[in-house]
Chain A
Amino acid sequence: MNPPRLELRRASKTYQTNGQKLEALRDVSLVLEPGTITALVGRSGCGKTTLLNLAGAMDFPTSGEVLIDGRDTSSLREDELTALRRTRIGFVFQFFQLLPALSVLENVELPLLLAGSQKAREAARNRLEWVGLVDKVNSFPYQLSGGQMQRVAIARALAHSPEILIADEPTGNLDNASGEQVLALLSDAAGRFGATVLVATHSAEAAAIAHTRVQLRDGRIAAFERA
């Protein structure tokens, strides 16, 4: 049997600031499967972003392990991590994080270009079609609304068809209607592309679309519900 796509085993993260220890995550264990959406909920400062960074292999636990396809992320070299991000992980941020100097199409192409893909343009167009923004390919980010920007960001996160999609409060800056569009896209990503979606959120609507809800409190899993 294949190992689970993404797994946290008793992962803990401790920050050292000015000699003070801060335990942002404590003994978190989770298994995430393809085609599922997992929502991380909890108060501000409970450790959601920290967990996402561990899951996305941008950061590493101080104890315990994070496994992607059964491989411990802490054991990967820099170039292996880069390769992982290029092929298997996509990120969506609360503040969209589009590059203002690049057009919409170029923003979506970017991960493919960085990975050296040959069919970047075509793939990027497909994704923009999927998020319903083909008519904006040549626009620049400042010419878009917040909801449109976030859709571009989702198209970018999925441009290289990653198996893991990590979203940190993707609707945090959007109104209800735009938020719903974004959530629909996330559902689609799990349903149509079979991605493993991990989303941190404060919104009830977002939590509602998830297959699994994980409640964090002070860095620990306080509740775990399957829908």
Chain B
Amino acid sequence: MRQLQLFRTLILRPLRRDLLRTALTIISVALGVGVVIAIDLAGDAATGSFRSSLETLVGKTDLEIVANGGVDERWMAALTALPVNARFAPVIEMQGVLKPAGSVTVYGVDFVSQGPEARAATPLARDPNSAIVVSSGLAQRLGLKEGDHLPLTLSDRTQNFEVAGIADAKDAEFILLDIAEAQRALNQYGRLDRIDVFVSPHEDFSRVEREVRVTLPASYRLEKPGTRGEENQRMLRAFRWNLRVLSYISLVVGAFLIYNTISVSVVRRRAEIGVLRAVGASRRWVLRLFLGEALLFGLAGSLAGIAFGRVMAEGAVGLVAETVNSLYVSSRPAAVALDPSAVAAAIAAGVAVALFSALAPAREAMHVAPVEAMGRGAHEHHSRTHARRNLFWAALAAIIAVALSQARPIDDKPIAGYAATLLAVVAMALAAPAVVTGLAAGTRGASRALFGPEGLLAVRGLAASLARTSVVVGALATAIAMMASVGIMVGSFRETVIVWLDTQLRADLYVRPAAHAGAGEHPALSAEVPGLVSAIPGVESVDIFHALEFEYEGRRATLGAGNADIVRRYGRLRFLPGEDRDAILRSLAGRNRVIVSEPFANKHSVRVNDVLNLPLGDRLVKVTVAGIYFDYSSERGFVIFDRSTLLKYLPHLPATNLAVYVRPGADPASVRHAVEARLANYRVTVAPNRALRQNAVTIFDRTFAITYALEGVAIAVAMLGAANSLLAMVLDRRREFGLLRYLGAAPAQLRRMILLEAGFLGIAANLLGLALGFVLSLVLIYVINKQSFGWTIQFHPPFLLLAGASTLVWLTTVLAGIYPARAAARLNPIEVIHEE
């Protein structure tokens, strides 16, 4: 009770009196917590649930039979003949494009079986080949009813379908198609994507599993439903981890600000604390008092952060979904839902950060001796900062950081790398006081010569309140370092990708089905298309490319096949240093030799001349890795055959892309028109080289939009901190400003002085931040990115961008000084000089 009342008078009342600063601190915590929540919620929503929406209609599947390159439908007969009480349902899954609704999942199912999927299709339309069943959710959204006609694009063709039935599947959205029609559309006769197994509740599940296993070839997999979803989540884990870590940076910046706020609160109340101690307050009690203040900030900030986060998540979900779709797997974002566990975690993080950052100043308060109550000039208490000792700890932290950056990933996550970045930030924060004093001493003469007495006073004032100054500089520097490091990483990555695109994209035209949806989707080209294109005059050669999603050692990757000879002749692909491209490419044709992309090699620890056991169709194939090439298009990784080899194992594999090389001297534009005209009946896109490149860069930029947004928030938090601290400084140095007025300072001189201090803070923060940023960018590029995604980024710092951004941050710091500067100039000198 007593404590609560004292908490009110000692902590709450001053907070209320200083409403602006209180609000700034709470807002900065709220922003930090909000970003963490937003990224978590947006990540959940963007990756959606990977559960098959077909389940809403047919019920839970017990087993799924899958195989690389598809399941041969001949096995259906053998399976249905098994003496088990189970139902086997063939499924083909693809993405179709519906004019009004956009991309939609289409399932090819057996319309003449006994399952609920077939029952939904009765009464059958007059022409079963052009009949579809629409799920109730989709029908409702588009206002469809039985008998309506719909144009649906599958792979490279659009066809008019009649709605034969509406399947009751709650709000799930999908379309059912007869399986034969689906195979025709995918140009995959005789192949299934999977066979769903439904085991009767009266049947022994493991017996069914055993029977099925022995019936099928060893290269086939029996998966529990949900395996695929888990696989997707796992694939996205590194991506989400990195995003999440990035989202915590604002909170780290916020930690500096809480530290600052509590420090101010302690410094101002030293005499008060002394009195309390003199009248009998215990040390623990004083500690609790200030931790209570921090708790208040943490709780208030976190609660406000939930609302912030919810709103920001709506904005973030689109950005995250875009990245997920272009780099990983097609998914449709779900609605943002406020997940209680995410909220609880964020509140816990906010409160923990608040308490942790308040620990040092609260302990300082605890050690205030009762005699300080008698000390008249609390203001003359000069803060003891141990610049030199801190420098030692900074060096130690830096050394440990370097050691950690050499460590291997743990559970696929660059944990040690993250720890190294955090330690680097700590090292910077510890070095900040020494840097500020050094800078102040070094620039004293210059700033006095340049800015006169205001310059001298500004530099001296900052050095005098070193403890506070270093915290603000630390917070700003962290935000700047984050901006610089991510900027360098993204800039380097972008440059690397652009250079890579140059070698990668050598053909003049690229042809692919229009229904292409996202990563992991490889719609087929009709069988006759490559021939049609090759026959066009002006076309020199056509590289026919086959891509399909496959699984290797439990991870999804892309299996591809092209014409190694064409690739070699046009100088495509760049291999790791020391590998001879020509020799590698020459060695592929007709042999069990493959090349793999760098991310694949890193993920599976594969080296040149290693032998991979690839399950392909009904067989297990041993292939030798002939070379490892650079690739930045997908972190899932590629395994590339020569066509001649892959078609031997998967003879029905349809082509998915064409790379068209124009004869020298022929006009690429007119060849393109000829190709478009020839393929007018197919839904394909014919993209010229330049468009594809531009598109790749656009996707790249959109992928990193979220990163820039996160940086923006961290910078905003740091700005709030700068304004907050400058304001605190003005309040604390009121007497000094009053005195200066007595000594003949004009109000404009005081304003200038504060702005100079803000400018000096900005410069110190920029110096430290840029230095730290360069170090962090090395960790990001060579440790975190490499370990998370498996690709090597070349170091290309975007100097111009960095210079621009740091100037902008510097200007904003000065701007943050405007309000405090005005406040200082408006003080009444008589009042402040006489108050104690």
Contact = CB atoms under 8 A, between A and B. Distances in A.
A102 B743 contact: no
Given A58-B829, A110-B453, A113-B453, A100 B382 contact: yes
Contacts of A101: 457, 460-461, 463-464
B745 interface: yes
B744 interface: yes
A99 B453 contact: no
A85 B453 CA distance: 16
A158 to B, nearest CB: 12
A58 B743 CA distance: 11
A110 B736 CA distance: 12
Contact of B456 (A78, A113, A115, A156): A113
A100 B456 CA distance: 13
B236 to A, nearest CB: 54
Contact of A114 (B379, B735, B743): B743
A101 B736 CA distance: 10
A73 to B, nearest CB: 14
Given A111-B744, A114-B453, A115-B744, A97 B833 contact: yes
A102 B380 CA distance: 12
Given A99-B736, A100-B380, A116-B452, A91 B830 contact: no
Interface in A12-60: 49, 53, 56, 58-59
B382 A86 contact: no
A79 B382 CA distance: 34
Contact of A97 (B382, B456, B463, B735): B735
Nearest to A142: B380
A58 B746 CA distance: 13
A114 B744 contact: yes
A82 B464 CA distance: 27
Nearest to A85: B744
Nearest to B745: A114
A166 B697 CA distance: 72
Contacts of A113: 452-453, 456
Nearest to A113: B453
Interface residues of B, number: 29
B623 interface: no
Nearest to A99: B736
Contacts of B216: none
Question: Which of B380, B453, B736, B749 lies at the interface centre, i.e. has the most chain A CB atoms within 10 A of its CB?
Answer: B453
Contacts of B621: none
A186 to B, nearest CB: 18
Contacts of B457: 99, 101-102
Given A82-B746, A85-B743, A115-B744, A53 B452 contact: no
A7 interface: no
Q: How large is the interface on A (under 10, 10 to 19, 20 to 34, 35 or more residues)?
A: 20 to 34
Contacts of B739: 97, 99
A141 B379 CA distance: 13
A65 interface: no
Nearest to B459: A101
B648 interface: no
A10 to B, nearest CB: 22
A163 interface: no
A95 B380 CA distance: 12
A156 B743 contact: yes
Contacts of B376: 95
A44 to B, nearest CB: 13
A62 to B, nearest CB: 14
Contacts of B382: 100, 142
A141 B464 CA distance: 13
Interface in B766-809: none
B143 to A, nearest CB: 71
Given A100-B464, A106-B456, A142-B380, A53 B830 contact: yes
Nearest to B834: A49
B830 A78 contact: no
Nearest to B742: A91
B746 A111 contact: no
A173 to B, nearest CB: 9
Interface in B812-833: 829-830, 833
A106 B464 CA distance: 14
Contacts of A95: 376-377
B432 to A, nearest CB: 18
A93 B747 CA distance: 21
Contacts of B735: 97
Interface string B452-472: 110011001101100000000
A78 B377 CA distance: 31
B740 interface: yes
Question: Which of B461, B736, B746, B749 lies at the interface centre, i.e. has the most chain A CB atoms within 10 A of its CB?
Answer: B746
A102 B740 CA distance: 13
A159 B502 CA distance: 72
Contacts of B453: 110, 113-114
Given A93-B833, A97-B833, A106-B456, A85 B749 contact: no
Interface in B703-753: 735-736, 739-747, 749
Contacts of A142: 380, 382
A89 to B, nearest CB: 8
A110 B454 CA distance: 10
A102 B460 contact: yes
Contact of B744 (A49, A78, A82): A82
B438 to A, nearest CB: 16
A111 B745 CA distance: 8
A71 B73 CA distance: 109
A93 B735 CA distance: 12
Nearest to A84: B744
Interface of A: 49, 53, 56, 58-59, 78-79, 82, 85-86, 91, 93, 95, 97, 99-102, 106, 110-111, 113-116, 141-142, 156, 160
* 3 tightest Cβ-Cβ pairs between the two chains A and B: A101-B464, A113-B453, A86-B744
28 contacts: A56-B742, A58-B742, A58-B830, A79-B746, A82-B745, A82-B746, A86-B744, A91-B743, A93-B833, A95-B377, A97-B735, A97-B833, A99-B736, A100-B380, A101-B463, A101-B464, A102-B457, A110-B453, A110-B743, A113-B456, A114-B453, A114-B743, A114-B745, A114-B746, A115-B744, A141-B380, A142-B380, A156-B743
Given A111-B744, A114-B746, 18 more contacts: A53-B830, A59-B830, A85-B741, A91-B742, A91-B743, A93-B833, A99-B457, A99-B736, A100-B380, A101-B460, A101-B461, A101-B464, A102-B460, A106-B460, A110-B740, A111-B743, A114-B743, A160-B744
